[in-house]
């Protein structure tokens, strides 16, 4: 690898089209650009992601986004050394747009091509600060996994959700309460700012699998508990109180999900003597999750360092893809542009 290397990363696995230029100099990272075109407003009208709509928008955006990432970094395509693309897991038609585009670019411009797993991208979104062994909690709309990283590229899956991802549960609960899409930001907002001190109501929701001996989790039962509670309240409360009760449900739901995520992750950190715990994925933007993680680690595992991505790096982005690619480049783990295929179910471990 040259002393100064430029990696172009591309991400299109779900509903964000993203491109980024990462400069690597003597092993130090500098993100020169990270351009993200989010389709969230379009899908919000449908209450969730519509794959065909996502793919069509990716097709429109992918080249302009790549061009702006290169331009913002003040480079030309010629100066880019490596092309990295997320090839799974994700929505097949969304992945294909990024993957096929980058294959053509790699072939035409004769650049080495690196495929990156989306989960690995989230896991390595602050990769240069990791100390091993590290425990990663990747928590997004599609995944909820606790991963042991013994080193870069050496992972073991300790546990994952057996049903819905945590972000998916946020989205579904928001739908039940008619709070809009995506649910995570909507739920955390109403939980934080709602003032319902005059409403005499206790909401108690389960913490599924909190005390189970493994690192697996489950969020579907929690969502169903919200649904039943909501149906019960609709029959017993007046319109005004029902509206207010959303705040209490959102608060308790958020707390229940966070309790499970923190307990399981810290149990793993203790068991595997982790030096760092790293968060990644859309749900790691959650304010309460971030502060409670910080406080609990300080109290129970003070020697462990908690790494939390900047807000712009929590959701899907291409800087994380370029960063993860760096470790594959070091191992000369390249893909053939004529062979690479999108893999919607690609398991990292």
Return residues touching Zn ion (CB under 5 A): 140, 316
Q: Is the dihedral of CA 309, 311, 312, 316 positive or negative?
A: positive
- Using DSSP's 3-state secondary structure scheme, residue 181 falls into coil
Nearer to Zn ion, 139 or 191 (CB): 139
Residue of the chain from 98, 121, 142, 337 that contacts ligand KG4 (CB under 6 A): 142
Strands (E), 56-186: 82-88, 113-117, 134-139, 144-151, 154-160
Q: Are 265 and 146 in contact (CB under 8 A)?
A: yes
Least gap, CB of 136 to ligand KG4 (angstroms): 13
Please choose which of ligand KG4, Zn ion, none residue 208 contacts, taking the beta carbon within 5 to 8 angstroms, the exact cut-off set by kind: none
Q: Estimate to the nearest angstrom the gap between the alpha carbon of 302 and the chain centroid.
A: 26
Residue 184 sits in the site that holds ligand KG4 (CB under 6 A): yes
Which residue stretch of 28-36, 168-176, 213-221, 269-277 sits at the interface with ligand KG4 (rule: CB under 6 A)?
168-176
Q: Residue 345: CA atoms inside 13 Å, Cβ hemisphere, count?
A: 0
Residue 164 sits in the site that holds ligand KG4 (CB under 6 A): no
Least gap, CB of 320 to ligand KG4 (angstroms): 10
Residue 208 sits in the site that holds ligand KG4 (CB under 6 A): no
Residue of the chain from 17, 33, 93, 140 that contacts ligand KG4 (CB under 6 A): 140
Phi, psi at 282, each rounded to 5°: -50, -40
Q: Which residues inside 281-300 make contact with ligand KG4, applying CB under 6 A?
A: 281-283, 285-286
Which residue stretch of 17-25, 28-36, 42-50, 276-284 sits at the interface with ligand KG4 (rule: CB under 6 A)?
276-284
Please choose which of Zn ion, ligand KG4, none residue 170 contacts, taking the beta carbon within 5 to 8 angstroms, the exact cut-off set by kind: ligand KG4
- H-helix or E-strand containing 168? helix 166-176
225 vs 190: CA distance, rounded Å? 19
Residue 185 sits in the site that holds ligand KG4 (CB under 6 A): yes
Please choose which of ligand KG4, Zn ion, none residue 136 contacts, taking the beta carbon within 5 to 8 angstroms, the exact cut-off set by kind: none
Least gap, CB of 285 to ligand KG4 (angstroms): 4
Least gap, CB of 175 to ligand KG4 (angstroms): 11
Nearer to ligand KG4, 170 or 215 (CB): 170
Contacts of 8 (CB under 8 A, 6+ apart): 19, 20, 21, 66, 69, 70, 80, 82, 83, 84, 322
Residue of 341, 284, 348, 296 whose CA lies nearest to 152: 348
Nearer to ligand KG4, 80 or 257 (CB): 257
70 vs 83: CA distance, rounded Å? 12
Annotate 86-101 with b (16+ C-beta within 10 A) or e (fewer). bbbbbbbbbbbbbbbb
- H-helix or E-strand containing 103? helix 92-109
323 vs 221: CA distance, rounded Å? 36
Residue 121 sits in the site that holds ligand KG4 (CB under 6 A): no
Which residue stretch of 73-81, 166-174, 271-279, 321-329 sits at the interface with ligand KG4 (rule: CB under 6 A)?
166-174
Least gap, CB of 322 to Zn ion (angstroms): 15
Please choose which of ligand KG4, Zn ion, none residue 167 contacts, taking the beta carbon within 5 to 8 angstroms, the exact cut-off set by kind: ligand KG4
Q: Residue 269: CA atoms inside 13 Å, Cβ hemisphere, count?
A: 28
Q: Which residues of this chain interact with ligand KG4, rule CB under 6 A?
A: 14, 140-142, 167-168, 170-171, 182-185, 188, 281-283, 285-286, 315-316
């Amino acid at each position: 690898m040259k002393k100064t290397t430029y990696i172009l990363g591309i991400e299109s696995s779900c509903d964000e089209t993203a491109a980024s230029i990462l400069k690597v100099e003597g092993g130090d990272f500098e993100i020169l650009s990270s351009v993200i075109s989010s389709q969230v407003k379009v899908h919000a009208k449908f209450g969730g992601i519509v794959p065909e709509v996502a793919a069509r928008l990716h097709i429109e955006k992918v080249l302009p986004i790549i061009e702006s990432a290169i331009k913002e970094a003040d480079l030309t395509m010629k100066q880019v050394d490596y092309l990295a693309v997320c090839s799974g897991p994700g929505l097949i038609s969304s992945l294909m747009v990024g993957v096929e585009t980058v294959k053509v670019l790699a072939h035409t411009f004769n650049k080495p091509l690196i495929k990156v797993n989306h989960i690995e991208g989230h896991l390595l979104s602050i990769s240069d600060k990791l100390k091993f062994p590290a425990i990663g909690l990747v928590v997004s709309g599609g995944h909820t996994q606790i991963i042991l990283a013994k080193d870069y590229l050496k992972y073991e899956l300790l546990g994952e959700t057996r049903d819905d991802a945590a972000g998916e549960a946020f989205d579904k609960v928001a739908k039940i309460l008619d709070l809009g899409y995506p649910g995570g930001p909507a739920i955390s907002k109403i939980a934080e700012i709602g003032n319902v001190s005059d409403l005499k109501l206790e909401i108690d929701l389960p913490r599924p699998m909190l005390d189970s001996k493994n690192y697996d989790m489950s969020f579907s039962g929690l969502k169903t508990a919200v649904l039943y509670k909501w149906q019960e309240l609709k029959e017993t409360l007046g319109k005004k109180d029902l509206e207010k009760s959303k705040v209490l449900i959102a608060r308790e739901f958020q707390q229940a999900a966070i309790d499970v995520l923190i307990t399981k992750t810290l149990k793993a950190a203790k068991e595997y003597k982790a030096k760092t715990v790293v968060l990644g994925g859309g749900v790691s933007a959650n304010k309460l999750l971030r502060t409670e993680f910080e406080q609990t680690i300080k109290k129970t595992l003070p020697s462990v360092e908690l790494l939390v991505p900047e807000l712009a790096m929590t959701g899907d982005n291409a800087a994380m893809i370029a960063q993860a690619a760096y470790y594959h480049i070091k191992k000369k783990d390249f893909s053939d542009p004529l062979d690479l295929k999108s893999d919607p179910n690609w398991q990292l471990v």
